A and B are shown apart, each in its own frame.
Chain A
Amino acid sequence: METKLKKVDIIFEDDKTISPIGILEKTIKRSADEIILDLIDSGLKGRGGAGFPTGLKWKFTRNEDSEVKYVICNADEGEPGTFKDREILDRVPEKIFTGMAICGYVIGAKEGYIYIRGEYNFLLKSIQAKLDKFNNEMKQKHIDFTIYLKSGSGAYVCGEESALFESMEGKRGEPRNKPPYPTVAGYNNKPTVINNVETLVYTTMICHMGPEKFKALGTTDSRGSKVFSVSGDTPIPGIYELELGMPLNKFVEEFGDGDAKAIQVGGASGHCVPRKKFNDTIIGFEGIPTGGSMMIFNSSRSMYNVLHDYLEFFTEESCGQCTPCRVGCQQLLKGIEAVKRGERSPSYLDDLKKLTNTMKIAAKCGLGQSVGNPFNSIVDNFREEIIY
């Protein structure tokens, strides 16, 4: 097992020798199948949370028979504690555009959309200017692809891919039934690749530097590196690109304030790791995956309050359409309050844990399915704090 914490510079790397549009021109001289093979070979998995292999996603969409297809960049970044996409959008948007255009070339799409979180509207002007320039350059180079910006509505659930499509289509942002999956019927019910901001930049960079370099980083299950948003009780909050597969204790050594008692990995919908498990927790798809958020809590924090905040967040941000999530979230929230006040016995927490299992397997989308992650990991590891 790798024991070092390795900082990486791929996403924000300022390569003076080649521009993003240069990477695009170079890449589309190759065949679509070659590009897909490289992506599959690189082991790149989606950085938006679900971790689906990007090369396969592109391949499935390419294989669909449709005149119209779309590429969508998911820049909704609503997960509490995550702010890495904002940084990428601000600093290297051209690399995102390039990834989208390559994807368009590969799957046969002529249009791309960046669905950008409403709260990031302050970035719109500068991104739009850069985008106009990029679109123009593509036109001059006879690359038949155009990218548009769409500002989101602000609800967390609109980051869920199918809710995002609904929202883009002007409807209420409610997740759809699956199947069909986006690769078959996404935006406007056409085959669609939807990727996270960071995923798209990695595709650009893998096309540029080749899969080998990327593959050399990380572990078998978690190839490459990823951008982390580090927050909470840390002297050095911010954005860091780190190699995947790192042990959590190394991370805490680097970023903690010396008193870390728990790390919430993956934002509100992620898992809480207590101090006693730092040593044997790996950050990656084989251990605890994350969309990028690493929140550090030191011993001054009440884990009841942490959990309460998360549950309030989900209770509010559930789209409300499906029973397990809409009502389940409220029951979890009111339930820990009732236990805290002594109105329900501590064993009620076990009833609620069973409920989270139903939510996990029966809720309609990832939001409701993942509320059990913070609930169970906090209740299991900090039961006393919840009860007393």
Chain B
Amino acid sequence: MNKYLVNLKVNNMPVSVEEGTTILDAAKKLNLRIPTLCNHPDLSVAGNCRVCVVEIKGARLLAASCATPVSEGMEVFTNSEKVRIARKHIVELLLSEHNADCTKCFKNGNCELQDLASEYRIGDHVFLDLVKPAHKIQDISSPSIVKDDSKCIRCQRCVRTCHELQGISALAVTNKGDHQKISTFLNKPLNDVVCSACGQCINRCPTGALTERNYIEEVWKAIYDPTKFVVVQTAPATRVALGEDLGLPPGERVTGHMVSALKKLGFNKVLDTDFTADLTIMEEGTELLTRLKRALVDKDETAILPMMTSCSPGWIKFQEHMYPELLNNLSTCKSPQQMFGALAKTYYAEKINIKAQDMVVVSIMPCVAKKFECERSEMRDSGYQDVDYVLTTRELAMMIKQAGIDFGKIEEEHYDSILGESTGAAVIFGATGGVMEAALRTAYEIVTGREVPFTNLNIQPVRGMDGIKEASIKIKNVKPEWSFLEGVDLNVAIAHGLANARQLMEKVKSGEANYHFIEIMGCPGGCLGGGGQPIPTSPEIRKKRAEAIYSEDAGMPLRKSHENPEVIEVYSKFLGEPLGHKSHDLLHTHYKPRKRY
């Protein structure tokens, strides 16, 4: 449909924009920045903070520019006296309700409220302090998230995130007036409600009201402890985002710099979760083929299809709360981080002759749900907690800054061996569709002996940012042992963001879908948009990170998980075969239903 162009003036400058454009976006076109707080490019319009108010000639009221569409002949002023006074008042009011103890705040230096306060030089407190003592008691019940109501400006971005993107509504607005706050069901601790621990709310909270539980000090302590051997693993998506927190633009690949920085921080070994991502493909791919055989040939009713991926702990927790009846659809594979932890404290410890109890495994993750995951009681198959600490990409950036490392200038280095080798298939785990693509690259080849029939191995139909993607791949000319798959259309689906996952689950539940394999990532865009990634986030930023991931893949010498030499070695020397006895003990897990209320 053609849209009309609307002509207006902003600060006396003419501009033409499509009808329906907000004043905020029209001003952006003129390179005029209007401050915002409640507005976010991933979310619906709220128009509640009011810092974006502007004056419209002839109007009695100021208009919230984020929520007001342009109209023909409109004359807007973004910086008139009226606007300035109102905006300053609004920031002062927010601060009067805010525990503005910036020096003690995790968001110090990356806080939208702080930025506004310093822009408007709000020093003297005109208004009375309204911070409620009860709000200063932080909710630290969750291993992933800290909720601090005394920092909350009620912009409701978190509420919209949890509802619109994640389809959960673990956070909601309760009460009204001076008692209004962002709360959980019955105001229970965050750990006792349906929260998936995905951390998406953290990524969109403009202040320090929602942050990750940070374990930086614990990790420093382990590094400084001479009796500890500290190994660190880095998830696929961290290497395309870390730079953002260290002064680089979105979409820079910083793999070698990250490895180098980790070595400089004092970790004993710098290893790669990508290695266990490849291993996941071996286990999960085999599991899929086995399930298909049991279901299609043996008519075994316990072989449940569609099989669903299990590498996103936010997704797993969601499923445990929301669809406990579909838990048997989940692959039993642990996430790559937990496979790594279990192998590090067994296979690897043995190899390098370190006692498991002296080893500390630290993960650098784009994720906060992994903090929850590593504390799950199922994740102690080495006899110890397999992964000791999970740091977000953001926390790593903070450590790098603390250590005075000039990130842009350091030499690139390689991961240590073993448990450091990986393929392009592992890297793309960081993007939605990546696990599917990696699995198809391997499974197709196992079954047919040929590479997947896509140019340069790039399986385009499973890539991209559509919330739900579907694809069907015809399997032809199979090897004799896979004859039952001859001519089968392998139907797959991919969803990212839990609201999309929910849609897909409803389709599965109603029986309307006939998928064989489903990939779900809890976060929008997959791990590259994870709850532990640098803030801010937006569709454009995630697109740049995705491009970086796929170019990293394209540049790798090995692009298929089953070709990873270290993976081949771990099977020959330790695990035996995929889904074998040892794999079962160390690399697979089970799930438990959780309550919704």
- The residues of A with any CB-CB pair to B shorter than 8 Å are 155, 157, 172, 174, 177, 179, 314-324, 326-331, 334-335, 338, 344, 351, 354-355, 357-358, 361-364, 369
* CB < 8 Å neighbour of B85 from A321, A323, A327, A354: A354
The 17 listed contacts between A and B (C-beta, < 8 Å) are A315-B177, A319-B176, A320-B177, A321-B154, A321-B173, A321-B180, A323-B93, A323-B153, A324-B90, A326-B97, A326-B180, A327-B130, A329-B178, A331-B93, A355-B89, A361-B60, A362-B90
Interface string of B76-120 (1 = CB under 8 A from A): 000000100110011001101100000000000000000000000
Give residues of chain B (440-461) contacting chain A, Cβ–Cβ below 8 Å: none
Q: A323 near B130 (CB under 8 angstroms)? A: no
**Interface flag for B186 (CB, 8 Å):** no
0 or 1 for each of B109-135: is its CB under 8 Å from A? (1 = yes): 000000000000000001110100000
Q: Are A364 and B86 in contact (CB under 8 A)?
A: no
Taking a contact as CB atoms under 8 Å apart, the answer to whether B130 and A363 are in contact is no
Known A331-B130, A362-B89; 7 more pairs at CB < 8 Å: A319-B177, A323-B49, A323-B90, A331-B127, A334-B130, A335-B127, A362-B90
Contact of A323 among B50, B68, B128 (CB under 8 A): B50
Within 8 Å by CB of B50, from A320, A324, A331, lies A324
User: Does chain A have a CB within 8 A of B140?
Assistant: no
CA distance A324 to B90 in the complex (A): 6
CB contacts (< 8 Å) of B61 on chain A: these are 361-362, 369
Which of the residues A174, A177, A323 comes within 8 Å of B94, measured between beta carbons? A323
How many of chain B's residues touch chain A, expressed as a range?
Answer: 35 or more
Q: In the complex, are the beta carbons of A317 and B177 less than 8 A apart?
A: yes
Q: How far is the CA of A358 from the CA of B82 in the complex (A)?
A: 8
Q: Decide yes or no: A335 and B64 within 8 Å by CB, A315-B177, A320-B178, A362-B53 being known contacts.
A: no
| Complex: A157 Cα to B50 Cα, angstroms | 18
Please measure, in the bound complex, the distance between the C-alpha atom of A174 and the C-alpha atom of B38, giving whole angstroms: 15
Note all chain B residues with C-beta closer than 8 A to A320: 154, 173, 175-180
Interface contact A177-B176, CB-CB below 8 Å? no
Cα of A361 to Cα of B85 in the assembled complex, Å: 11
Instruction: Tell me the nearest residue of chain B to A155, going by C-beta.
Output: B176
In chain B, positions 130-154 with a C-beta closer than 8 Å to chain A are 130, 153-154
Residues of A within 8 A of B48 (CB): 321-323, 364
Residues 41-81 of B, flagged 1 when their CB comes within 8 A of A and 0 if not, give: 00001111111010000001110100111000000000000
| Known A324-B90, A351-B126, A362-B86; contact A315-B64, beta-carbon cutoff 8 A | no
The 8 A CB mask of B165-194 against A (1 = contact, 0 = none) is: 000000001011111100000000000000
Task: Closest A residue to B126 by CB, please name it.
Answer: A351
> A179–B70 Cα gap in the complex (Å)?
11
Q: Which 10 A-B pairs have the closest CB atoms?
A: A320-B180, A327-B93, A177-B67, A358-B89, A177-B47, A321-B48, A316-B177, A318-B177, A358-B86, A362-B86
Q: Could you tell me the distance in whole angstroms from the C-beta of B117 to the nearest C-beta in chain A?
A: 14
Q: What's the minimum C-beta distance from B132 to chain A, rounded to whole angstroms?
A: 10
Specify the chain A residue showing the minimal Cβ separation from B49.
A323
- Specify which chain A residues have a CB less than 8 angstroms from the CB of B126 in the assembled complex: 351
Bound complex: CA A329 to CA B96 (Å): 12
B45 → A minimal CB distance (Å): 7
- B174: nearest residue on chain A (CB-CB)? A172
Q: Which residue of the partner chain, among A316, A351, A358, contacts B178 with CB atoms under 8 Å?
A: A316
Distance in angstroms from A334 CB to nearest chain B CB is: 5
CB distance from A102 to the nearest CB of B (A): 31
Q: Which residues of A contact B177 (CB under 8 A)?
A: 314-320, 326, 329
Question: How far is A316 from B153 in the complex, measured between Cα atoms in Å?
Answer: 18
- Given A177-B67, A320-B154, A324-B93: A361 in contact with B176 (beta carbons within 8 A): no
| Chain B residues whose C-beta falls within 8 Å of the C-beta of A369 in the assembled complex | 61
Given contacts A320-B177, A364-B50, contact A327 B128 (CB under 8 A): no
How far in angstroms is the closest Cβ of chain B from A351? Answer: 6
The distance from the CB of A376 to the nearest CB of chain B, in whole angstroms, is: 16
> B156 an interface residue at 8 Å Cβ cutoff?
yes
**CB nearest to B127 among chain A residues:** A331
Contact with A along B507-539 (1 / 0, CB 8 A): 000000000000000000000000000000000
Residue of A nearest to B48 (CB): A321
Q: Is the CB of A328 within 8 A of B93?
A: yes
**Closest B residue to A320 using CB positions:** B180
